[in-house]
């Protein structure tokens, strides 16, 4: 993608991209594993599945479990994540400033996430960032990343073509979803997956944080219909 170019739609992942929630996800999964007497996996193994929908994440962690126990793992994980786990979560520095600037410049902003609808709605309300997004998609409403369906659905809502859209994410699943949809992507390395893992998905750029992303996006202009 050339700089000083035009975009219509910018799609953000949530966990690990706009919000620093990786430690809460890891802690909640480990607590659920203990409660269900499962082998407690290392943080790195859990970080590796962040970005997937919850059923897909549970299966990736324990492919040997039957469907009933996998479903139970998801339920117990959510009980810790939503109510029992005190591990703090916070927006990454510069998140609101970035979204406010992009919205003021006229870009169509949206969210494509592996979170549940309950989780996304709660955090959009608690942070006050919901007002910046015209549309959102959660994995439970469509297909999990890296399938391109949720990204294609968001492009349809914005009437945007793949090269008029940009995906921003912190995991290989985000970037592979974009590649599967023929959409350019930027990887942010402050989240769940590291530089080398993100680079393997061939994003158009890798940035270390949202402030660097804001500078990278500055030359872009809104594509008018």
- Residuewise pLDDT in 10s, the chain (225 residues): 444 488 999 999 999 999 999 999 999 999 999 999 999 999 999 999 999 999 999 999 999 999 999 999 999 999 999 999 899 999 999 999 999 999 999 999 999 999 999 999 999 999 999 999 999 999 999 999 999 999 999 999 999 999 999 999 999 999 999 999 999 999 999 999 999 999 999 999 999 999 999 999 999 999 876
Residue 213 · residue 202 · CB < 8 Å: no
- Give me the pLDDT at residue 4, please: 44
Contacts of 1 (CB under 8 A, 6+ apart): 163, 166, 184, 204
Domain locations in the chain as residue ranges: 6-21+90-222, 22-84
User: Cα dist. 43→26, 113, 158, 221 in Å?
Assistant: 6, 20, 37, 40
The structural architecture, per CATH, of the domain 22-84 is Orthogonal Bundle (1.10)
Distances (CA, A) of 12 to 16, 51, 85, 154: 10, 12, 25, 11
6-21+90-222: CATH topology is Rossmann fold (3.40.50)
């Amino acid at each position: 993608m050339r700089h000083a170019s035009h975009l219509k739609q910018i799609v953000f992942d949530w966990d690990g991209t706009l919000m620093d929630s990786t430690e809460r996800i890891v802690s909640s999964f480990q607590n659920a594993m203990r409660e269900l007497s499962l082998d407690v996996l290392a943080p790195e193994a859990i970080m590796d599945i962040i970005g997937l929908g919850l059923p897909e994440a549970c299966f990736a962690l324990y492919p040997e479990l039957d469907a009933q126990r996998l479903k139970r793992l998801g339920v117990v994980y959510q009980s810790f994540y939503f109510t029992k786990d005190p591990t703090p979560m916070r927006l990454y520095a510069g998140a609101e400033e970035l979204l406010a600037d992009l919205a003021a410049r006229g870009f169509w902003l949206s969210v494509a996430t592996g979170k549940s609808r309950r989780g996304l709605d709660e955090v959009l309300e608690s942070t006050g960032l919901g007002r910046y997004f015209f549309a959102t998609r959660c994995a439970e409403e469509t297909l999990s990343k890296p399938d391109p369906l949720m990204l294609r659905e968001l492009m349809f809502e914005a009437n945007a073509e793949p090269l008029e859209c940009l995906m921003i994410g912190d995991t290989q699943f985000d970037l592979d979803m974009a590649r599967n949809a023929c959409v350019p992507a930027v990887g942010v390395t402050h989240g769940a997956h590291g530089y080398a893992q993100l680079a393997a998905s061939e994003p158009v750029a890798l940035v270390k944080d949202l402030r660097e992303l804001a500078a990278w996006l500055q030359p872009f202009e809104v594509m008018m219909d």
